[in-house]
């Protein structure tokens, strides 16, 4: 009895990754231990970061932030309990840890990177005020570069890579704005704004060749151009941002996008301190690990908590139930002769009961046959079928003669096993009548069906000559050459020769190799495809025949 089995197992799925890179702005607070993370589209604060120093006292404020454009590392200038000046630290944004590098030796208020070189500026209350220094990122030691223009309060610098200049903001009631050549002779060029500006600039970050984003004392962001043009963004809050730097976070949900019935699809979110998974926008209760096994069709997403805030990836993974492949080898059956089983599912992989791996399998004997099919999603289907095979009957057709005169008597046909049916031109009952067909070559068929309903057949060719009294002596006068032959045999027939004649080539066992009807005095017979060896060439006409031994060499 036929039995069908579907294996509910998913080995492999179609791997998918949905990722996004989020850009945020990190800004400092001079009065406490926090940094602010701001959405760069809305300029709204999305996260507060509490800084933790790797050594020393507590951090009580941060004045400057700068990001190395080559390595991506974030450096901060902080106030730390027990340090009269400022410390330089390297910020790990994923853990909020400030790895303290050392005491900068003076009161620095802002830093910026020119390539891998960190440059700082001291504030008004410093021992060496309002001056540029080259800062060692390994030791925090500062080397004097140049004295800048003096404003009434506050010092902010930002490097512009498009112009290879450092821009400097200073002052509150009257803001001084200037560009500085970052190498000797450190030329300072004042920039006069067409707008009267009385807001102290607290931080600046490079946006484009001619634009900076700045924060000011009025808790707002503003755009500054390199020519001094000022555009106050009054609907945004800067939280007294002292120093600013862009950071980016890569968020992703990856895994298989399909699963097999009874199985699941493993999804994994990028690293984060906390997770919450969603399906079709709804919270999945208890799904708070980095990985999640999806067992139903839908769109899965994960809310992450990282340096850029708490949010989900913009797009999740659409997971589908791919279903198992349907395998149908057909019903249990009895068949006469070989039977081809087809497992279907083109493009899948196959394993039959004998470990063969083709899509189809040819059955030659009765037994139970089965196949395992694995589709592109790794889902598996199976089927089993029982086959009984009956051998085809061995059928042989023979005749009293296969060459005869067109005016001759019917030739008896004999088929085994007996009880079959003869057919073909000139066939009546169990005989072939050349007077019905006339001259030519004809095929006679004998078909037999056994008691099990299995059928087979055999056939043979019958040649009918025009009988005009050709003698054996006349046939003997035909010249056949060369002997041994190579690519062809040539036959020269006398001008008085009567036609048609039949040329036949037999091997030593009597098996017919080729046959050609002759109708002219000069004939060529191609034997290039005949294997080298010894053969017998027969010329037959009008009931007479002559045979010669012929050798073929190549």
Residues 436 and 547 in one domain: no
- Identify the pLDDT of residue 322: 81
413 and 434 assigned to the same domain: yes
Domain containing residue 478: CATH number: 2.60.40.3080
Structural domain includes residue 284: no
Give me the phi and psi of 404, to 5 degrees please: -155, 165
Say yes or no to pLDDT of 108 above 60: yes
CATH of the domain at 368: 2.60.40.10
Return the higher-pLDDT residue of 340 and 215. Answer: 340
Q: Which residues contact 94 (CB under 8 A, 6 or more apart)?
A: 271, 306, 307
Kindly report the backbone phi and psi dihedral angles of residue 429, in degrees, each rounded to the nearest multiple of 5, phi listed first: 55, -115
Q: Of 248, 277, 295, at which residue does a domain stop?
A: 248
The residue among 446, 408, 405, 394 whose CA lies nearest residue 424 is 446
204/116 same-domain check: yes
CA distances (Å), origin 384, targets 343, 345, 358: 10, 16, 16
Which contiguous run of DSSP H or E holds residue 441?
strand 440-449
What pLDDT is stored for residue 30 in this prediction? 84
Split at pLDDT 50, 70, 90, the class of 7 is very low
Do 379 and 426 share a domain, yes or no? no
Its domain, for residue 350, covers: 324-390
CATH number, position 119: 2.120.10.80
Residues 229 and 96 in one domain: yes
pLDDT of residue 306: 83
Q: What pLDDT shows up at residue 184?
A: 95
Q: Give the 3-state secondary structure of residue 40.
A: coil
DSSP string, 205-244: EEEETTEEEEEETTS-EEEEETT--EEEETTS--TTEEEE
- The answer to the question of residue 494 being in a domain is yes
Q: What is the CATH number of the domain that holds 453?
A: 2.60.40
Same structural domain, 421 and 379: no
SS3 content of the chain, % helix, strand, coil (to 5): 0, 55, 45
pLDDT computed for residue 1 by the predictor = 33
Structural contact between residues 271 and 291, judged by C-beta atoms closer than 8 angstroms: no
426 and 494 co-located in one domain:
no
Is residue 93 domain-resident? yes
Verify that 351 and 476 share a domain, yes or no.
Answer: no
Domain final position from 412, 443, 465: 465
**Distance, first Cα to last Cα, the chain:** 59
* Integer Cα distance of 529 and 304 in angstroms: 77
What confidence score (pLDDT) does residue 148 get? 92
Question: CA torsion sign, 404 to 406 to 409 to 411?
Answer: positive
Alpha-carbon distance of 35 to 205, in angstroms, equals 15
pLDDT at residue 498 in the model: 57
Q: Which of 358, 390, 422 is the last residue of a domain?
A: 390
Asked if the model's pLDDT at residue 534 lies above 50, the reply is yes
The predicted pLDDT at position 241 comes to 78
406-457: pLDDT as tens digits: 877 899 999 999 999 999 999 999 999 998 998 889 999 999 999 999 999 9
CB 407 within 8 A of CB 435: yes
400 and 489, same domain (yes or no): no
pLDDT for position 11: 31
232 or 512, higher pLDDT: 512
* Separation between Cα atoms, residue 63 and residue 244, nearest integer Å: 9
Residue 139 counted as domain residue: yes
304: in domain: no
Are 540 and 406 members of one domain?
A: no
Tens of pLDDT, residues 129-155: 999 999 999 999 999 999 998 766 779
Residue 378 lies in a domain: yes
pTM of the predicted structure, to 2 decimals = 0.57
Task: Judge if 454 and 477 occupy the same domain.
Answer: no
Separation of alpha carbons 546 and 42, rounded Å: 108
Rg (CA), the chain: 49
In a domain, 205, yes or no: yes
| Mean pLDDT value across residues 27-55 | 87
The residues with which 81 forms a beta bridge, in sequence order, are none
Per-residue pLDDT averaged across 299-313, rounded? 83
pLDDT above 90 as % of the chain: 56
The DSSP result for 95-161, as a single string, is TTEEEEEEE-SS-EEEEEEETTEEEEEE-TTSSS-SEEEEE-TTT--EEEEEE----SS-EEEEEET
Are 487 and 443 part of one and the same domain? no
Q: How far apart, in whole angstroms, are the C-alpha atoms of residue 373 and residue 323?
A: 13
* Position 8 confidence tier, pLDDT thresholds 50, 70, 90: very low
**Is 15 within a domain?**
no
With a cut of 70, say whether residue 472 has pLDDT above it. Answer: no
At residue 6, the pLDDT reads 28
Count how many domains the chain has: 4
Q: Once rounded to an integer, what is the mean pLDDT over residues 70-98?
A: 93
The verdict on whether omega for the bond into residue 484 sits within 30 degrees of 0, i.e. cis, is yes
Longest Cα–Cα distance of the chain, Å, equals 140
CA dihedral 524→525→527→532, nearest 10 degrees, is: -90
Q: What pLDDT was estimated at residue 468?
A: 58
pLDDT at 319: 83
Distance CA 151, CA 178 (A): 11
């Amino acid at each position: 009895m036929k039995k069908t089995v579907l294996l509910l197992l998913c080995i492999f799925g179609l791997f998918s990754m949905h990722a996004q890179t989020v850009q945020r702005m990190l800004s400092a607070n001079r009065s406490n231990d926090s940094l602010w993370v701001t959405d760069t589209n809305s300029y709204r604060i999305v996260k507060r970061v509490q800084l933790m120093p790797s050594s020393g006292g507590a951090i009580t404020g941060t004045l400057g932030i700068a990001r190395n454009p080559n390595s991506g590392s974030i450096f901060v200038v902080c106030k730390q309990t027990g340090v009269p000046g400022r410390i330089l630290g390297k910020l790990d944004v994923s853990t909020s840890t400030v790895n303290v590098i050392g005491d900068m030796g003076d009161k620095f208020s802002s830093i910026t990177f020119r390539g891998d070189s960190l440059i700082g500026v001291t504030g008004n209350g410093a021992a060496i005020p309002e001056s540029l220094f080259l800062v060692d990122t390994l030791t925090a030691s500062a080397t004097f570069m140049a004295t800048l223009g003096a404003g009434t309060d506050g010092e902010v610098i930002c490097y512009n890579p498009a112009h290879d200049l450092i821009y400097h903001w200073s002052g509150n009631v009257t803001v001084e704005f200037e560009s500085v050549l970052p190498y000797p002779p450190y030329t300072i060029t004042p920039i006069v704004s067409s707008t009267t500006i009385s807001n102290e600039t607290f931080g600046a970050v490079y946006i484009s060749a001619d634009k900076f984003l700045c924060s000011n004392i009025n808790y707002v962001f503003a755009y500054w151009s390199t020519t001094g043009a000022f555009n106050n963004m009054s609907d945004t809050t800067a939280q007294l941002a002292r120093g600013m730097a862009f950071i980016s976070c890569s968020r992703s949900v990856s895994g298989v996008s399909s699963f097999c019935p009874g199985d699941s699809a493993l999804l994994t979110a990028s690293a984060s301190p906390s997770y919450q998974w969603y399906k079709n926008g709804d919270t999945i209760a208890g799904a708070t690990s980095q990985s999640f096994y999806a067992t139903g069709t839908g769109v899965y997403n994960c809310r992450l908590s990282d340096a850029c805030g708490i949010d989900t990836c913009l797009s999740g993974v659409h997971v589908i139930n791919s279903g198992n492949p349907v395998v149908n080898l057909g019903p249990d059956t009895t068949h006469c002769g070989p039977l081809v089983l087809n497992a279907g599912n083109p493009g899948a992989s196959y394993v039959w009961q004998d470990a063969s791996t083709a899509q189809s399998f040819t059955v030659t004997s009765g037994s139970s046959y089965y196949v395992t099919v694995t589709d592109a999603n790794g889902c598996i289907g199976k089927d089993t079928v029982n086959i009984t095979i009956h051998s085809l009957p061995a059928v042989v057709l023979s005749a009293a003669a296969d060459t005869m005169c067109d005016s001759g008597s019917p030739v008896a046909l004999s088929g085994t096993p007996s009880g079959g049916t003869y057919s073909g031109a000139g066939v009546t009952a169990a005989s072939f009548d050349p007077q019905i067909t006339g001259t030519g070559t004809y095929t006679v068929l004998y078909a037999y069906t056994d008691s099990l309903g299995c059928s087979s057949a055999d056939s043979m060719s019958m040649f009918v000559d025009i009988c005009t009294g050709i003698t054996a002596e006349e046939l003997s006068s035909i010249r056949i050459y060369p002997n041994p032959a190579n690519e062809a045999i040539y036959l020269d027939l006398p001008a008085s020769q009567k036609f048609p004649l039949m040329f036949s080539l037999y091997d030593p066992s009597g098996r017919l190799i080729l046959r050609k009807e002759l109708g002219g005095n000069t004939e060529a017979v191609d034997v290039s495809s005949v294997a080298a060896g010894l053969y017998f060439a027969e010329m037959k006409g009008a009931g007479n025949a002559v045979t010669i031994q012929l050798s073929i060499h190549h």
